[in-house]
Amino acid sequence: MSTQKPGEGGVATDTKTKTKTKTKLARPKLYKVILHNDDYTTMEFVVAILQGIFHRSEAEATAIMLHIHRHGAGVGGIYPYAIAEAKVSEVMQVAEKADYPLLCTMEPDDDPGSDPDGGEGGPGRGGDHEGEGH
């Protein structure tokens, strides 16, 4: 016969309940990467930039380039700040190396309700503003 008192020996049970709280992360602010028209950069070079740096198909790149040509500027893609900044820098370096004065800038995307997966354009919402490109 055992003379153990309750709570001694046997199996210990923990009655504490852990509460998990989920922290909802806000989506990062997005920025439009904008290509600007000029009188010297060739249309073919702009299409190559849109394909190589913004990962656009030839048809998308051509449509964006024509928009930029007709309207003076257009969106190559929409990305979080760091990626947009890197895209601007890459475009400017490639253009300078090729001796083109192509200007590329970025500005906040004021349409946060739009589809971040890129409705029409692939990576980084890069293609969702087809009509706003060079």
Tell me the mean pLDDT per 10 residues along the chain, length 134.
57 65 85 98 98 98 98 98 98 98 96 48 41 40
Question: Does residue 22 sit within a domain?
Answer: no
Question: Does residue 24 sit within a domain?
Answer: no
Q: How far is Cα 39 from Cα 27, in angstroms, rounded to an integer?
A: 38
The total number of structural domains in the chain stands at 1
Question: Does residue 77 sit within a domain?
Answer: yes
94 with 49: CB under 8 angstroms?
A: yes
Question: Does residue 53 sit within a domain?
Answer: yes
Residue 14's pLDDT is 60
Give φ, ψ of 105 to 5 degrees. -130, 175
Q: How far is Cα 74 from Cα 4, in angstroms, rounded to an integer?
A: 81
Question: Does residue 13 sit within a domain?
Answer: no
Question: Does residue 1 sit within a domain?
Answer: no
Residue 83's domain spans which residues?
A: 30-132
Residues paired with residue 73 on neighbouring β-strands, in sequence order: 36
What CATH number has the domain bearing residue 80? Answer: 3.30.1390.10
Residue 27's pLDDT is 87
Q: What is the pTM of this model?
A: 0.69
Question: Does residue 54 sit within a domain?
Answer: yes
Both tokens of residue 24? 């909802």
Question: Does residue 104 sit within a domain?
Answer: yes
Residue 74's pLDDT is 98
36 with 92: CB under 8 angstroms?
A: no
Q: What is the 3-state secondary structure (H, E, C) of the chain?
A: CCCCCCCCCCCCCCCCCCCCCCCCCCCCCEEEEEEECCCCCCHHHHHHHHHHCCCCCHHHHHHHHHHHHHHCEEEEEEEEHHHHHHHHHHHHHHHHHCCCCCEEEEEECCCCCCCCCCCCCCHHHCCCCHHHCC
